[in-house]
């Protein structure tokens, strides 16, 4: 698949529950409380503010398709979402993918996603709860 690509690496945590029904999130924080039921990876090596300007500009097109491939311990999931002109990619902490059209101040990186944390394969979630390394590859076309 051609397109601009960004890759984030993170790790799971014992408190990964992936029960949120409308979002999924990766954070650079080094901890996770039980309240963070949308967070699937912590200690992310990159945040939206680090993304290439060309990638960001492509995601700010309302017609852009953003493919998010998640891989941990041999388990994969693919979520497809769309871009939006209001996406700022300014967060220095976390990246949030939403099933809705809502865009917050700086954390939202994709909207109208085909899946949220609660929709992820439970084998993938279990691997993340066991602390597996997570790679998230984002491709925009």
Domain locations along the chain: 4-140
Using left for φ > 0, alpha for ψ between -120 and 50, and beta otherwise, residue 73 falls in left
Q: Is 19 helix (H, G, I), strand (E, B) or coil?
A: coil
CATH topology of domain 4-140: Jelly Rolls (2.60.120)
Structure tokens at 92: 């220095």
- The pTM assigned to this predicted structure is 0.96
- pLDDT number for residue 8: 98
- pLDDT number for residue 1: 43
pLDDT one-digit tens code per residue, 47-82: 999 999 999 999 999 999 999 999 999 999 999 999
Q: Which of 54, 77, 45 is nearest to 3 (CA)?
A: 54
- pLDDT number for residue 105: 85
Residue ranges in the chain whose pLDDT is less than 70? 1-2
DSSP annotation of 12: -
Distance between CA atoms of 132 and 141, rounded to whole angstroms? 29
């Amino acid at each position: 698949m051609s397109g601009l690509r960004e890759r984030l690496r993170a790790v799971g945590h014992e408190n990964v529950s992936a029960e949120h029904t409308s979002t999924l999130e990766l954070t650079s924080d080094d901890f996770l409380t039980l309240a963070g039921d949308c967070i699937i990876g912590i200690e992310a090596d990159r945040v939206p503010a680090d993304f290439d300007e060309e990638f960001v500009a492509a995601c700010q097109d309302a017609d852009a398709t953003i493919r998010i491939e998640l891989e941990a311990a041999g388990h994969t999931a693919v979520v497809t979402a769309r871009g939006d002109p209001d996406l700022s990619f300014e967060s220095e902490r976390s990246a949030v993918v939403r099933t809705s059209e809502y865009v917050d101040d700086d954390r939202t990186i994709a909207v109208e996603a085909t899946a949220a944390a609660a929709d992820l394969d439970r084998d993938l979630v279990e691997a993340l709860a066991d602390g597996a390394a997570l790679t998230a590859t984002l491709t925009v076309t």
